[in-house]
Structure 1
Amino acid sequence: MDYPISSDQIFLFKTIVEKGSFSKAAQQLGVHVSTVTRQIDRLEESIGAKLFIRSSHYIGLTESGDHLYRESKEILKHLSSVIEDIRQIENAESGEIKISCLPTFCKTIIIPILKKVKQNNQDIQLSFDLTERLVDPIVERLDLAIRIGDQPNSTLYSKKLGEQTWHICASPDLASKHRLTHIDELENMPLIKKYSKNSTVCWNKLEERNHIAAKCDDFHGQLMLAIEGIGFCCLPNWVVHGSIQNGSLVHVLHDPFQRRDTIYALRPFKHPNAKSALLMDEIERSLDNVSTGLL
């Protein structure tokens, strides 16, 4: 039977040669002599050549064994170098990060933190796939995919970054003209139609019987319309946070739907590389500031 040749077998072979016996090699590696013998038998069978001249009092190399020993040192040295290179890549807080997210999430959350991320990590480069599609990080070779809502059954790994809540807001001028205490009071008020793919039942019912002042399927577009006083908007916390902080929007009703959507990062591997982990930590910190600022 042919067995695949492993680096462990090559390392074992090299150790036997340098220690001068099977028993000393077994002792150094912490295994039984029978395990050493079995692995060398398999290695010889796979190669199709005897590597050792063995007797009860002597162990030496055959011509094939001598050739393998000389080459094995270079093989293991190269393998060690390759592994070290991989570790440096995984541990480096630099290089390209390929990320997929909503266009507005990129503009509102990720771009503002890039300066901070790059202050101590100049070599980080972000490659964005700005889309509303539910992309597969494995198929599309992404490091991270930011999603909002229920997590699908998946073989992918995820990390919760924060929570999305919904807020009804308006420009200061529009809000001062209509002081509201309940969502039903929005009836007959001008509304900006909300993002269709993340609808809430209450808002949709209002849309059915209210005046729709404008429609826009982009969060940023709705935000701009609301700031200009076109109508009342219902947008996520991470979209309106900055505008509420600078006074261009005011809260009309805080979290009227009592709805929480999870914001999470999908990744193809259980353990993210250092640069992806760094970015996720900064996004999480930014979303935490958003939630705290809207309490």
Structure 2
Amino acid sequence: MNQLLAIRVFARVVESGSFTKAADSLNQPKTTVSKLIGQLESHLGVRLLQRTTRRLTVTADGASYYQLTQQLLHQLDDIDQGFSQAQGLPRGRIRVDIGGSTATMLVIPELPKFFERYPDIQVDLGVSDRPVDLISERVDCVIRGGPLTEQALAVRRLGEVSWTTCATPGYLQRHGTPMHPLELARHQMIAYRSASTGRILPSNFQRNGERHQIEGKGLVSVNESNAHLAAGLAGLGIIHTFSYTVRAAIERGELVPILTDWRPPAYPFHLLYPPNRHLSNRVRVFIDWLVERFAQVD
């Protein structure tokens, strides 16, 4: 038995809560994962996992073994990192989850600059507006916007972005240009639905202490930020979104900003990662680069 490999496989099973998910993330057959866990349990003489047809649970011995071996794996990673840094720049693969428009407009266009600095790092981007489980899906870090609700995760503030309300010239010609947020009630608003709850997220407006929260109605709603922009460019209605998302379209004349003196406070973005997971140097430098990137966004 390759004990180190078996320990790493066991850790992945614990974190993912599934033999199948662990096998998929390791690019290993499920039978190999099951065999290694069995060999590890036989070697230790204890039951690490309790398996039924419906459920996988970690035994008390398994939980203790996981905590102790995590310390060992972290130390090994530190040793490996120390030698690789002595030979050059950080290397290895990281997994990052990120929202659609943030990926396509803020991060991906600038990635060549990151790879110029760190050519030995590979980045796996999970791109969607769907919240992920960092532990079970083995994601190193995730970029999320808005108020923080996951207190169990470690957090690094990236920055904040402003909002813009806009529509196509054709839409405004047909329906008129609203001068006050309350006028949006008679307009087509392209609503944005939360990918996690399915609820419509209201648009907030603020000026000189006056505040309005608008839940506009329209012909279409979406739950992904790139689709939100596409619907606006198609002339389906008014969109209220992050300024960086529509800046290029406004400069090209494809969209026209409206209600420019009505804007809510800037929207915060954070980077989150599991607090009990070793933060490798390759992840650290990627996080530092993201902070630099968001400092350039308004």
| TM-score using structure 1 length | 0.59
Q: Which amino acid aligns with 1:138?
A: I
The answer for the alignment partner of 2:232 in structure 1 is 226
CA distance in 2, matches of 1:288, 1:116: 15
The answer for the alignment partner of 2:184 in structure 1 is 186
CA distance in 1, matches of 2:222, 2:236: 12
Partner deviation per Cα, 1:151-185 (whole Å, 9 max, x = no partner): 23534321111224432111234346633332122
Structure 1 residues not aligned, in runs of 5+:
1-79
The answer for the alignment partner of 1:275 in structure 2 is 282
Residue number among 211, 217, 222 corresponding to 1:216 in the alignment: 222
Residue number among 132, 142, 153 corresponding to 2:139 in the alignment: 142
The answer for the alignment partner of 2:269 in structure 1 is 263
The answer for the alignment partner of 2:241 in structure 1 is 235
Residue 277 (structure 2) pairs with residue 250 (structure 1): no
Structure (1 or 2) with the larger CA radius of gyration:
1
Contact 1:109 1:283 (8 Å CA) reproduced: no
The structure that is helix-richer by fraction is 1
Deviation for aligned residue 1:127: 1.2
SS of residue in 1 equivalent to 2:126: strand
Contact 2:191 2:201 (8 Å CA) reproduced: no
Shift in alpha-carbon separation, 1:275–1:231, aligned structure 2, 3 A: same
SS of residue in 2 equivalent to 1:190: coil
The answer for the alignment partner of 2:115 in structure 1 is 118
Alignment of 1:28-39 (within 5 A): none
Q: Which amino acid aligns with 2:81?
A: I
The answer for the alignment partner of 2:105 in structure 1 is 108
Partner deviation per Cα, 1:97-143 (whole Å, 9 max, x = no partner): 11112233222222111111112322221112334443343343222
Deviation for aligned residue 1:89: 5.1
CA distance in 1, matches of 2:214, 2:158: 30
CA distance in 1, matches of 2:82, 2:102: 31
| TM-score using structure 2 length | 0.59
Contact 2:163 2:241 (8 Å CA) reproduced: yes
The answer for the alignment partner of 1:199 in structure 2 is 201
Contact 1:194 1:235 (8 Å CA) reproduced: no
CA distance in 2, matches of 1:81, 1:148: 34
Equivalent residues, number: 209
CA distance in 1, matches of 2:163, 2:137: 31
CA distance in 1, matches of 2:222, 2:124: 26
